[in-house]
Structure 1
């Protein structure tokens, strides 16, 4: 049994300057979580969770991957086992997650908000489960209570264009102080290579938009209607989760006619899916620029690798991975094409392969236009990279290739209301990097100046970038 606190007060803060920067300039700032996958319905209904398994393990594919790797049966992960049995299965394997970020995340999430700073294992699991379950009954541990506890100012959910956004509307008309803003995620309108799913989606899009989609102009009109609808519901951000950006941006007249036939022909496949995706995405990006939205591109995942398990339990269940793609020319071409007509919106690009850090960081510098600070952003360490090593490498690449002082900082990209400890994790790592360089003479020993930069990265830059002031 580990003696003392698992997460000490000065966790990750390895110098006097780091401690000052964190405690005086970062620790107490509010959070702008501009990209996550929290369910708007659960926020609107101010849900309370039945137990620690429901709030902590259900939907957390990071933990699921770890449990599978450590020999836990699927019955105790996504299966029909009792919630307490699932939690105890997790508790038993936590000690074996040592040096994986799960070890730190787990204990940080127990410390805040539950106030538990002891080692989770088979011996302590039942007590911790019962103590947390008792706390979850309190109003402070409802979805809205937790967002207030973590000082969240803005939540940016991820929403399909066909969503009616009724829960966002409900929240906007409530007295809940946190801004819950939708983000426009039109990936399904681009994936024409999945012909059956694409056609089904087009039918759904046609119904919700009220636009007949019989050709490419109809599809773009329907998407414009949904962009307008989202804008009416306080949306100002889009998001795209793609393996790579398309390499082509136009459709020939022949391909446009082919699309008409494709829509009404069972079993037909479109001949040039990359050009189709590029054309539609380009037209969407022009709409984002027109409305002064921020567009985000999460690039580089190779998804659903385990086809056997995908067929059993579906997507987003822990079988995705880092892809090995070539991004530079596609990024240059897609963004450069929009720059020709001066229709490149504020843009955040995220990579999943750490080998691409410098490529992405350098690419953002090509499209700064001098009209605003930090228009082009190299996004924070994402998914497999939102851990200490990944965050440090992203920060160093951004510092070397761009301007880290402009950085809009951390996001959770999570489905869990307990993931806000990731912001604390990021802030500690950031302060440790700057503090070490202040102490070794690489940065001036000026706490007020460096502290302002820390505060900007943790909060102020995002507030300005997303116009939340």
Structure 2
């Protein structure tokens, strides 16, 4: 195999090898291939779109913000600073060298979803026709850099090209949301971009910076957070502020999803101790679990959809986290339990009209055992599609088989891209549409579903299901 091998995308990628089933998949996919993208959970910075500043170089766009890419490079011995991870500054020479490193390691991504997405980005967006390698790295870099310098590749133009109808970002409760305000007030910007309320830090009193966070929360809400009642009022006020700025959901990620309800006096006592830096680990954990229930209670009042994606050992490599900060690829999945942990929350709110709780996991063992049965009973519960470590073709196929038999298609969330890598959004959604078309085609071929029903379902998975789940 030569280093100048061509890079192409096969039109039947991810479709079944059986000719008859593949033909059905082709027909189903044709119905959804060009539908607009709905992205209800992601991490693209809203400032990119508000400022519409041209992207600087191929590395800062495609490698540095994408921990999917650089975590595997790190495993191969590449220093994180060499690829600009964690905001490490790279000049033009450094960015070009980082791109060379990525291309030299192209083989390490074989069989991974990263390889699938990156191929789609390179070919479909930038017109690259050479396979990445040490020899082709500079030519590919120059080709992408030339395109990024043109108006057609600025963030807003790419939003138009990708046909992203709805995009949710992820935002701190104390954020003033000024970038969202600019987008919403700009008549030339026709896409809907909304914030997502992400309160994790403000619900965890074991954090050393919890008192400082409470001060920031109080300042943002203009409410005294010196007591527990003020703390609750400030959170409710910021949720209201987010909703006024278009938010449709709150997003939560803790080590577990154990829930419980403390009485008011006990919650007040632990909160006061936390402000003094005196709450024990057990007290802080109990308070965090209690606050998850409080977030559900608030959701029943203000209508924000509640999404949970637990089960991650954050900052597993402490030395890397100290140097480069969070979200730099060294979070690792852990085993999860939902049924017992969520029972107190669902006992109170699982049947409340209008409450939507979307449960994500990266522990595949719970799909058929816990999440599908929960979604198959409680009107509030939906199963989130595979994300993060398992948003890969094989895992998505396993997900459909594990969940559909108990919860069907309409108790799932629709596809979630969960990405900071802006240019990978269309590739990820296209992957999901191909896989769902293939899964439904198999049901048709087995005479378990009429093709007209399969067609209706594949369209709903892209359109009406995410709109219904996230109340769009």
Coarse TM-score class (shorter-chain normalised): over 0.9
Alignment of 1:343-382 (within 5 A): 345-358=355-368, 359-368=370-379, 375-382=380-387
2:462, 2:373 → 1: CA distance?
A: 22
Normalised TM-score (structure 2): 0.92
Would you say the 8 A contact 2:296–2:306 is kept in 1?
yes
Would you say the 8 A contact 1:44–1:168 is kept in 2?
yes
1:113, 1:63 → 2: CA distance?
A: 18
How far does residue 270 in structure 1 lie from its aligned partner after superposition?
6.4
Gaps in structure 1 of 5+ consecutive residues: 369-374
SS state at 2:125 partner: coil
User: Pairwise CA RMSD of aligned residues?
Assistant: 1.9
2:111 to 85, 96, 99: 99
1:258, 1:318 → 2: CA distance?
A: 33
SS state at 1:183 partner: coil
C-alpha spacing 1:247/1:224, structure 2 compared with 1 (3 Å):
closer
1:319 to 330, 335, 338: 330
Alignment of 1:365-404 (within 5 A): 365-368=376-379, 375-404=380-409
C-alpha spacing 1:267/1:173, structure 2 compared with 1 (3 Å):
same
Q: Which residue of 1 aligns with 2:14?
A: 12
1:315, 1:287 → 2: CA distance?
A: 28
1:260, 1:98 → 2: CA distance?
A: 52
Deviations 1:252-290 (A, max 9, x none): 524523432442x35554651232123322222222222
With 318-327 and 5-14 compared, the bigger mean Cα shift is at: 5-14
Q: Which residue of 2 aligns with 1:69?
A: 75
Q: Which residue of 2 aligns with 1:215?
A: 227
C-alpha spacing 1:119/1:259, structure 2 compared with 1 (3 Å):
same
2:420, 2:405 → 1: CA distance?
A: 32
SS state at 2:251 partner: strand
C-alpha spacing 1:365/1:332, structure 2 compared with 1 (3 Å):
farther
Alignment of 1:220-239 (within 5 A): 220-239=232-251
**Runs of at least 4 residues off by over 4 Å:** 2-5, 266-271
Would you say the 8 A contact 1:250–1:278 is kept in 2?
no
Would you say the 8 A contact 2:37–2:162 is kept in 1?
yes
Residue 295, structure 1, aligned to residue 306, structure 2: yes
Q: Which residue of 2 aligns with 1:206?
A: 218
2:257, 2:323 → 1: CA distance?
A: 30
2:204, 2:155 → 1: CA distance?
A: 33
Would you say the 8 A contact 2:311–2:363 is kept in 1?
yes
Gaps in structure 2 of 5+ consecutive residues: 17-21
2:79, 2:292 → 1: CA distance?
A: 41
2:55 to 29, 49, 60: 49
With 34-43 and 275-284 compared, the bigger mean Cα shift is at: 275-284
How far does residue 5 in structure 1 lie from its aligned partner after superposition?
4.5
Residue 131, structure 1, aligned to residue 143, structure 2: yes
Would you say the 8 A contact 1:362–1:402 is kept in 2?
yes
